[in-house]
Amino acid sequence: MNQLDALKQLTTVVADTGDFKQLSQFKPQDATTNPSLILKAVQKPDYQGLMQDTVKEFRSRPLDEIMDRLLVRFGCEILSLVPGRVSTEVDARLSFDTNATVARGERIIALYQAQGIHVDRVLIKIVSTWEGIQAAAQLERRGIHTNLTLLFAFCQAVACGQAKVQLISPFVGRIYDWYKKSAGSSWDEAAHAGANDPGVVSVRQIYNHYKKFGISTEIMGASFRNVGQIQALAGCDLLTISPELLAILAGSEQALVRALHPDAARALDLPAVNFDEAGFRYALNEDAMATDKLAEGIRAFCADAIKLEQLMLAAG
Protein backbone atom coordinates (compact mmCIF):
# COMPACT_ATOMS: atom_id res chain seq x y z
CA MET A 1 0.00 0.00 0.00
CA ASN A 2 1.39 3.43 -0.91
CA GLN A 3 1.38 6.27 1.61
CA LEU A 4 -1.50 8.07 -0.07
CA ASP A 5 -3.75 5.02 0.26
CA ALA A 6 -2.57 4.53 3.86
CA LEU A 7 -3.33 8.17 4.65
CA LYS A 8 -6.85 7.80 3.22
CA GLN A 9 -7.52 5.11 5.85
CA LEU A 10 -6.80 7.63 8.64
CA THR A 11 -7.75 11.01 7.18
CA THR A 12 -10.06 12.43 4.53
CA VAL A 13 -7.76 13.47 1.69
CA VAL A 14 -8.65 16.68 -0.14
CA ALA A 15 -7.04 18.01 -3.32
CA ASP A 16 -5.87 21.63 -3.16
CA THR A 17 -6.05 22.80 -6.77
CA GLY A 18 -7.99 24.70 -9.39
CA ASP A 19 -6.60 22.35 -12.05
CA PHE A 20 -9.49 19.89 -11.94
CA LYS A 21 -8.02 17.77 -14.75
CA GLN A 22 -5.39 16.53 -12.26
CA LEU A 23 -7.96 15.20 -9.81
CA SER A 24 -8.95 11.82 -11.18
CA GLN A 25 -5.55 10.18 -10.74
CA PHE A 26 -5.52 10.81 -6.96
CA LYS A 27 -9.20 10.10 -6.21
CA PRO A 28 -9.60 12.66 -3.38
CA GLN A 29 -12.83 12.88 -1.41
CA ASP A 30 -13.11 16.69 -1.57
CA ALA A 31 -11.35 19.59 -3.27
CA THR A 32 -10.51 23.16 -2.28
CA THR A 33 -9.89 26.23 -4.40
CA ASN A 34 -9.00 29.87 -3.82
CA PRO A 35 -8.54 32.91 -6.10
CA SER A 36 -4.80 32.24 -6.40
CA LEU A 37 -5.37 28.66 -7.58
CA ILE A 38 -8.11 29.73 -10.04
CA LEU A 39 -5.85 32.52 -11.34
CA LYS A 40 -3.11 29.96 -11.92
CA ALA A 41 -5.51 27.59 -13.68
CA VAL A 42 -7.11 30.10 -16.07
CA GLN A 43 -3.69 31.04 -17.43
CA LYS A 44 -3.30 27.48 -18.75
CA PRO A 45 -4.59 26.78 -22.27
CA ASP A 46 -6.87 24.00 -20.98
CA TYR A 47 -8.94 26.47 -18.95
CA GLN A 48 -8.87 29.70 -20.94
CA GLY A 49 -11.96 28.67 -22.88
CA LEU A 50 -13.91 28.13 -19.68
CA MET A 51 -13.11 31.66 -18.53
CA GLN A 52 -13.84 33.18 -21.94
CA ASP A 53 -17.19 31.40 -22.19
CA THR A 54 -18.23 32.58 -18.72
CA VAL A 55 -17.25 36.19 -19.43
CA LYS A 56 -18.97 36.14 -22.82
CA GLU A 57 -22.21 34.75 -21.39
CA PHE A 58 -22.41 37.19 -18.47
CA ARG A 59 -20.51 40.24 -19.73
CA SER A 60 -23.46 42.52 -18.98
CA ARG A 61 -23.37 41.61 -15.28
CA PRO A 62 -21.24 43.31 -12.59
CA LEU A 63 -17.63 42.13 -12.49
CA ASP A 64 -17.96 40.66 -8.99
CA GLU A 65 -20.87 38.51 -10.17
CA ILE A 66 -18.91 37.28 -13.19
CA MET A 67 -16.11 36.35 -10.79
CA ASP A 68 -18.47 34.30 -8.64
CA ARG A 69 -19.92 32.62 -11.73
CA LEU A 70 -16.41 31.68 -12.87
CA LEU A 71 -15.58 30.24 -9.44
CA VAL A 72 -18.83 28.24 -9.50
CA ARG A 73 -18.06 26.95 -13.01
CA PHE A 74 -14.77 25.58 -11.71
CA GLY A 75 -16.52 24.22 -8.64
CA CYS A 76 -19.11 22.36 -10.72
CA GLU A 77 -16.38 20.79 -12.86
CA ILE A 78 -14.59 19.69 -9.70
CA LEU A 79 -17.78 18.24 -8.21
CA SER A 80 -18.20 16.09 -11.32
CA LEU A 81 -14.90 14.43 -10.40
CA VAL A 82 -14.99 14.15 -6.59
CA PRO A 83 -17.69 12.43 -4.51
CA GLY A 84 -17.66 14.98 -1.70
CA ARG A 85 -17.47 18.75 -1.35
CA VAL A 86 -15.78 21.70 -2.96
CA SER A 87 -14.71 24.86 -1.14
CA THR A 88 -15.35 28.13 -2.97
CA GLU A 89 -13.99 31.37 -1.58
CA VAL A 90 -15.67 34.68 -0.86
CA ASP A 91 -13.66 37.64 -2.18
CA ALA A 92 -10.98 38.42 0.42
CA ARG A 93 -11.64 42.15 -0.07
CA LEU A 94 -14.74 41.55 2.06
CA SER A 95 -12.73 40.08 4.96
CA PHE A 96 -13.76 42.86 7.38
CA ASP A 97 -17.39 43.20 6.28
CA THR A 98 -19.71 40.67 7.91
CA ASN A 99 -22.88 41.61 6.03
CA ALA A 100 -21.20 41.68 2.61
CA THR A 101 -19.58 38.31 3.28
CA VAL A 102 -22.95 36.79 4.18
CA ALA A 103 -24.52 38.19 1.02
CA ARG A 104 -21.68 36.91 -1.16
CA GLY A 105 -21.82 33.47 0.42
CA GLU A 106 -25.55 33.28 -0.17
CA ARG A 107 -25.10 34.28 -3.81
CA ILE A 108 -22.44 31.64 -4.40
CA ILE A 109 -24.73 28.97 -2.96
CA ALA A 110 -27.63 30.21 -5.12
CA LEU A 111 -25.43 29.93 -8.22
CA TYR A 112 -24.52 26.35 -7.30
CA GLN A 113 -28.15 25.47 -6.63
CA ALA A 114 -29.11 26.87 -10.03
CA GLN A 115 -26.74 24.25 -11.47
CA GLY A 116 -28.45 21.49 -9.50
CA ILE A 117 -25.73 21.24 -6.82
CA HIS A 118 -26.99 20.46 -3.31
CA VAL A 119 -26.01 22.93 -0.59
CA ASP A 120 -24.24 20.19 1.39
CA ARG A 121 -21.68 19.69 -1.39
CA VAL A 122 -20.32 23.24 -1.10
CA LEU A 123 -18.29 24.92 1.62
CA ILE A 124 -18.19 28.72 1.49
CA LYS A 125 -14.59 29.65 2.18
CA ILE A 126 -14.18 32.75 4.36
CA VAL A 127 -11.12 34.44 5.85
CA SER A 128 -11.05 33.85 9.61
CA THR A 129 -11.08 37.46 10.76
CA TRP A 130 -13.51 38.24 13.59
CA GLU A 131 -15.93 39.64 10.99
CA GLY A 132 -15.52 36.57 8.79
CA ILE A 133 -16.18 34.21 11.69
CA GLN A 134 -19.39 36.08 12.57
CA ALA A 135 -20.48 35.89 8.93
CA ALA A 136 -19.81 32.16 8.95
CA ALA A 137 -21.92 31.76 12.10
CA GLN A 138 -24.83 33.46 10.33
CA LEU A 139 -24.45 31.31 7.22
CA GLU A 140 -24.27 28.12 9.30
CA ARG A 141 -27.53 29.05 11.04
CA ARG A 142 -29.07 29.36 7.56
CA GLY A 143 -27.90 25.87 6.57
CA ILE A 144 -24.92 27.04 4.47
CA HIS A 145 -21.69 25.36 5.52
CA THR A 146 -18.39 27.19 5.74
CA ASN A 147 -14.63 26.67 5.58
CA LEU A 148 -12.66 29.26 7.58
CA THR A 149 -9.33 29.91 5.89
CA LEU A 150 -6.11 31.83 6.57
CA LEU A 151 -6.16 30.41 10.07
CA PHE A 152 -2.87 30.73 11.96
CA ALA A 153 -3.73 31.36 15.61
CA PHE A 154 -5.29 29.22 18.33
CA CYS A 155 -7.71 32.06 19.12
CA GLN A 156 -9.02 31.92 15.54
CA ALA A 157 -9.68 28.20 15.91
CA VAL A 158 -11.42 28.63 19.27
CA ALA A 159 -13.67 31.39 17.91
CA CYS A 160 -14.54 29.23 14.89
CA GLY A 161 -15.51 26.39 17.22
CA GLN A 162 -17.69 28.74 19.25
CA ALA A 163 -19.36 29.88 16.01
CA LYS A 164 -20.05 26.23 15.09
CA VAL A 165 -18.51 26.55 11.64
CA GLN A 166 -18.32 23.36 9.61
CA LEU A 167 -14.58 23.31 8.96
CA ILE A 168 -11.37 25.24 9.52
CA SER A 169 -8.17 25.29 7.44
CA PRO A 170 -5.08 25.96 9.58
CA PHE A 171 -2.17 26.83 7.27
CA VAL A 172 0.68 24.55 8.31
CA GLY A 173 3.22 25.59 5.69
CA ARG A 174 2.80 29.32 6.12
CA ILE A 175 3.30 29.01 9.87
CA TYR A 176 6.49 27.04 9.16
CA ASP A 177 7.59 29.72 6.67
CA TRP A 178 7.25 32.51 9.25
CA TYR A 179 9.24 30.78 11.96
CA LYS A 180 11.95 29.72 9.53
CA LYS A 181 12.29 33.25 8.17
CA SER A 182 12.22 34.74 11.68
CA ALA A 183 15.01 32.41 12.86
CA GLY A 184 17.22 33.20 9.87
CA SER A 185 20.62 31.53 9.95
CA SER A 186 19.91 29.97 13.36
CA TRP A 187 17.08 27.80 11.98
CA ASP A 188 17.69 24.08 12.54
CA GLU A 189 15.63 22.20 9.95
CA ALA A 190 16.11 18.79 11.54
CA ALA A 191 15.08 20.05 14.98
CA HIS A 192 11.89 21.56 13.54
CA ALA A 193 10.83 18.64 11.36
CA GLY A 194 7.89 16.25 11.71
CA ALA A 195 6.07 16.54 15.03
CA ASN A 196 8.28 19.53 15.99
CA ASP A 197 7.38 21.56 12.92
CA PRO A 198 5.73 24.77 14.23
CA GLY A 199 2.82 24.40 11.79
CA VAL A 200 2.26 20.81 12.91
CA VAL A 201 2.43 21.89 16.57
CA SER A 202 -0.26 24.51 15.92
CA VAL A 203 -2.65 22.04 14.28
CA ARG A 204 -2.06 19.46 17.02
CA GLN A 205 -3.00 22.05 19.67
CA ILE A 206 -6.24 22.83 17.81
CA TYR A 207 -7.00 19.13 17.28
CA ASN A 208 -6.48 18.33 20.95
CA HIS A 209 -8.69 21.24 22.05
CA TYR A 210 -11.52 20.33 19.68
CA LYS A 211 -11.53 16.64 20.55
CA LYS A 212 -11.14 17.26 24.29
CA PHE A 213 -14.16 19.55 24.44
CA GLY A 214 -16.34 17.79 21.87
CA ILE A 215 -16.23 20.59 19.28
CA SER A 216 -17.66 19.21 16.05
CA THR A 217 -15.93 21.65 13.67
CA GLU A 218 -13.77 19.69 11.24
CA ILE A 219 -10.02 20.41 11.11
CA MET A 220 -8.38 20.39 7.69
CA GLY A 221 -4.63 20.96 7.71
CA ALA A 222 -3.61 23.01 4.66
CA SER A 223 -0.70 24.71 2.89
CA PHE A 224 1.93 21.99 3.16
CA ARG A 225 5.58 22.48 2.23
CA ASN A 226 6.73 18.85 2.48
CA VAL A 227 5.38 15.34 3.05
CA GLY A 228 6.88 15.26 6.55
CA GLN A 229 4.28 17.81 7.67
CA ILE A 230 1.52 15.63 6.20
CA GLN A 231 2.85 12.46 7.82
CA ALA A 232 3.04 14.21 11.19
CA LEU A 233 -0.69 15.03 10.96
CA ALA A 234 -1.94 11.60 9.86
CA GLY A 235 -5.23 11.12 11.68
CA CYS A 236 -6.33 14.76 11.39
CA ASP A 237 -9.95 15.03 10.23
CA LEU A 238 -8.94 16.18 6.75
CA LEU A 239 -5.77 17.29 4.96
CA THR A 240 -5.86 19.35 1.76
CA ILE A 241 -2.80 18.58 -0.34
CA SER A 242 -1.38 19.91 -3.61
CA PRO A 243 -1.16 17.54 -6.59
CA GLU A 244 2.64 17.65 -6.37
CA LEU A 245 2.68 16.32 -2.80
CA LEU A 246 -0.13 13.85 -3.53
CA ALA A 247 2.10 12.40 -6.23
CA ILE A 248 5.01 12.00 -3.78
CA LEU A 249 2.76 10.21 -1.28
CA ALA A 250 1.39 7.96 -4.02
CA GLY A 251 4.94 7.05 -5.02
CA SER A 252 6.08 6.01 -1.52
CA GLU A 253 5.48 2.67 0.14
CA GLN A 254 7.04 3.55 3.50
CA ALA A 255 4.86 2.77 6.51
CA LEU A 256 2.61 5.56 7.77
CA VAL A 257 1.90 5.81 11.51
CA ARG A 258 -1.17 7.55 12.94
CA ALA A 259 -0.01 10.76 14.65
CA LEU A 260 -3.31 12.22 15.94
CA HIS A 261 -5.99 10.24 17.77
CA PRO A 262 -9.19 11.60 19.36
CA ASP A 263 -9.00 9.24 22.35
CA ALA A 264 -5.53 10.51 23.22
CA ALA A 265 -6.75 14.10 22.94
CA ARG A 266 -9.76 13.46 25.19
CA ALA A 267 -7.47 12.06 27.87
CA LEU A 268 -5.45 15.28 28.09
CA ASP A 269 -5.84 17.77 30.94
CA LEU A 270 -6.56 20.99 29.04
CA PRO A 271 -8.17 24.25 30.18
CA ALA A 272 -11.44 25.39 28.63
CA VAL A 273 -10.92 28.47 26.46
CA ASN A 274 -13.43 30.99 25.09
CA PHE A 275 -13.08 34.37 23.40
CA ASP A 276 -15.33 37.39 23.10
CA GLU A 277 -14.45 39.98 20.46
CA ALA A 278 -12.09 41.99 22.66
CA GLY A 279 -10.33 38.85 23.88
CA PHE A 280 -10.01 37.52 20.34
CA ARG A 281 -8.50 40.73 19.02
CA TYR A 282 -6.05 40.94 21.91
CA ALA A 283 -4.97 37.30 21.55
CA LEU A 284 -4.50 37.68 17.80
CA ASN A 285 -2.50 40.87 18.32
CA GLU A 286 -0.24 39.07 20.81
CA ASP A 287 0.56 36.40 18.19
CA ALA A 288 3.05 38.13 15.87
CA MET A 289 3.19 35.20 13.46
CA ALA A 290 -0.60 34.99 13.07
CA THR A 291 -0.97 38.76 12.74
CA ASP A 292 1.69 38.92 10.02
CA LYS A 293 0.49 35.88 8.06
CA LEU A 294 -3.20 36.78 8.23
CA ALA A 295 -2.56 40.28 6.86
CA GLU A 296 -0.14 38.95 4.25
CA GLY A 297 -2.59 36.25 3.17
CA ILE A 298 -5.48 38.68 2.77
CA ARG A 299 -3.31 41.04 0.72
CA ALA A 300 -2.15 38.18 -1.53
CA PHE A 301 -5.68 36.84 -2.11
CA CYS A 302 -6.92 40.37 -2.85
CA ALA A 303 -4.09 40.97 -5.32
CA ASP A 304 -4.84 37.72 -7.14
CA ALA A 305 -8.57 38.52 -7.24
CA ILE A 306 -7.71 41.82 -8.94
CA LYS A 307 -5.44 40.01 -11.43
CA LEU A 308 -8.23 37.54 -12.17
CA GLU A 309 -10.63 40.43 -12.76
CA GLN A 310 -8.15 41.99 -15.18
CA LEU A 311 -7.93 38.72 -17.11
CA MET A 312 -11.71 38.55 -17.27
CA LEU A 313 -11.91 42.13 -18.57
CA ALA A 314 -9.33 41.29 -21.22
CA ALA A 315 -11.29 38.17 -22.18
CA GLY A 316 -14.49 40.21 -22.55
Q: Pick from 167, 154, 163: which is nearest to 206 by CA?
A: 154
Gap between the Cα atoms of 126 and 215, Å rounded: 19
Q: Is 194 left (phi over 0), alpha (psi -120 to 50) or beta?
A: left
Gap between the Cα atoms of 101 and 97, Å rounded: 6
- Three-state DSSP class for residue 218: strand
Catalytic entry in 125, 211, 212, 293? 125
Q: Pick from 200, 255, 193: which is nearest to 10 by CA?
A: 255
Distances (CA, A) of 148 to 137, 177, 226, 262, 271: 11, 20, 23, 22, 24
DSSP secondary structure letters along 41-53: HHTSHHHHHHHHH
- Three-state DSSP class for residue 260: coil
Distances (CA, A) of 262 to 33, 121, 236, 253: 28, 26, 9, 26
Which H or E element spans position 12? strand 12-16
Distance of alpha carbon 233 from the chain centroid: 16
Q: Pick from 192, 183, 149: which is nearest to 167 by CA?
A: 149
125 is catalytic: yes
Taking a C-beta distance cutoff of 8 angstroms, is the pair 153, 283 a contact? yes
Residues 6 or more apart from 194 whose CB is under 8 A from it? 200, 228, 231, 232
**Could you give the residue numbers annotated as active site?**
125
